[in-house]
Chain A
Amino acid sequence: MSTASVATLAGDRTGGRKAGAAFGDDRLWRWLTFSPALALMLLLSVLPLANLFVSSFQDITWAGGDSTRSFVGLSHYRALGSDALFRAGLVNTFIFAFCAVAGQMVLGLGLALLCSKVTRGRVLYRAIFILPILIPGIVIGAIWKLMLNYDFGLINQGLALLGVMQHDWLGSAETALLSVIVVDIWHWTPFCFLLFLAGIESLPQDIFEAAKVDGAKPWQEFRYITLPLMIPTIVVTFAFRLVLAFKVFDEVYLLTSGGPGTATEVVSFTLYQRFFTEDRIGYGSAMSVAVIFLVSLLLVIALSARRGLGRT
């Protein structure tokens, strides 16, 4: 279950309790087993993020492997407020994340419900649906760059057969973001499907049998039994996919590079440009800190939503 790890994080209290007798080599091995992970996290996550935080108050220039830093106070953060690209990136990322994840939820749940009803072929369906999860994001970008190509893409070819005009899906501002959303739905619906199918399979079967005996119609069964039981899984999956959709980068990098104009500018891409195209490390750091703050905020909301549901 997707909720398992979340439960590990939010609800597990067995770590320090239920102690057995103490053993001689315990203290040493306790540290030996934990310290590699602790060292890795301190060195490669806490330290670089602290570094990022410090850099966000500085102007940094690199010259021949050495950096010169000068303190600029809050000016980077002030500049963020009037950065049109950053604002466009935030808006697009929100639209993208919300629409894509909502689509994945609905389709994933629908397919999982259907799949749970069939006995023959369920394993085969599942095997097929896993495929997109395993494909690199950049390759998914490549696949859909071909599929959505104006001249020879399968989508426009199919539309031509139906007598519909060709359309420049990625090149026109009205459909570029929509196209990226559809690609993301194609990419991650299978994942939601898989989690929901596992969730449905783990529901107690006797309730469904009792409902059948009482003459419940399939729709009633879904409305009054499956859906209420699945709500916690649905909410948690939604919240966490939403937060993770904020990381979107690979597909956008390959499909549109943020264009046309700022139509598909997403925060990760804005960050990438500030850091690596424009070399504005201090300003990019401030932007990163702002994004990380936003993500943490979303995470807190997601976790408290989960806790609220856990009580009922």
Chain B
Amino acid sequence: MNGPVSRQGRIAPTHLVLVTAAAIVIAPVAWTVAAGFRTQISLLMGEFLFSPVWFNFAEVLFSKTSDFLLNYRNSLIVGIASTALCLAVATLAAWSLHRMRWPGWIVHVFLAWTLIFHMIPPVALASAWYAMARPVGLDNTFIGLILAHTTLNLPMALWLMSVFVRDVPRELEEAARMDGATTPILLRHVVLPIIAPGLAATAVLTFVFSWNEFAVALTLSMKQTATVPVAIAKFAQDFEIQYTQMAASAALSILPALLLLLVAQRYIVKGLTQGAVK
């Protein structure tokens, strides 16, 4: 069983299964992207070969009745702002909880609460947040949605940053203290450089999860602040579904994810495997 021939004989079926699995993952996405380049008739007729058209993308992006560019901008604003805020808050808290000698019970209660909070269906929170946001005029504003996404992603960011913060050698921090470093200097010049890769991993995931979030965005936004998932959900509710335009906007909506997959795959893997119980 150890000869090179039998070894090859085992590897080939392995690749066959893996290639099949990869095809099952890619096919629905590829087929949907392709549907974005079809005419509605070509799709409905089920033609296998078709001549690609730009019509759907043009319609989704530039037609007067479509807000997709606005939705895209909104998603970017909310995603970037909530990621920045979430990272700052989570990193400081992770460092504080693990390095500032808080009483054990505070650390435990706080982390346990973040875990429970993470498990609560966002729909239940959405209504409670809406009830809070409306009286103070934060419904249908970016601030409301940014705060909501920051809170939703805080548990995951906090756990991830806890893992990375604890990798910082204690001796290094103590040595810096001995040399008279104040807390801001310590954080800026000792801790930050070491946790930078972890910060990048957390940032990528936080952004993606904010970009993908639907339930809260649906309830806290209106026409002017609607994000991409809210816009795509609208397609499915039209009386006569514009399938090809839905496909085109779906294709456009996964562009950031594809881009991140190309340039930051390492960080995505690191983030997902090091503590995201998403």
Contact = CB atoms under 8 A, between A and B. Distances in A.
A151 B46 contact: yes
B35 A146 contact: yes
Given A14-B98, A25-B183, A41-B110, A281 B127 contact: yes
A20 B177 contact: yes
A231 interface: no
Nearest to B135: A65
A128 B214 contact: no
A25 B274 CA distance: 32
A143 B88 CA distance: 35
Contact of A139 (B166, B229, B265): B229
A52 B127 CA distance: 9
Interface residues of A, number: 109
Interface residues of B, number: 113
Given A23-B177, A134-B261, A36 B102 contact: no
Interface in B176-223: 177, 182-184, 208, 211-215, 219
A121 B14 CA distance: 12
Nearest to A23: B177
Interface in A177-221: 186, 190-191, 194-195, 198, 212, 217-218
Interface in B246-262: 246-247, 250, 253-254, 257-258, 260-261
A5 B116 contact: no
Interface string B32-51: 10010000000111100000
Given A17-B104, A138-B232, 7 more contacts: A4-B274, A32-B183, A40-B150, A134-B257, A146-B32, A147-B28, A253-B214
Interface of A: 1-2, 4-6, 8-9, 12-21, 23, 25-26, 29-30, 32-34, 36-38, 40-41, 44-49, 51-52, 55, 65, 67, 111, 114-115, 117-118, 121, 125-139, 141-147, 149, 151-152, 154, 157, 186, 190-191, 194-195, 198, 212, 217-218, 240, 243-244, 246-247, 249-250, 253-254, 267-269, 271-272, 275-276, 281, 284-285, 288, 291-292, 295-296, 298-299
Closest 5 CB pairs of A and B: A37-B93, A48-B128, A15-B107, A33-B96, A5-B275
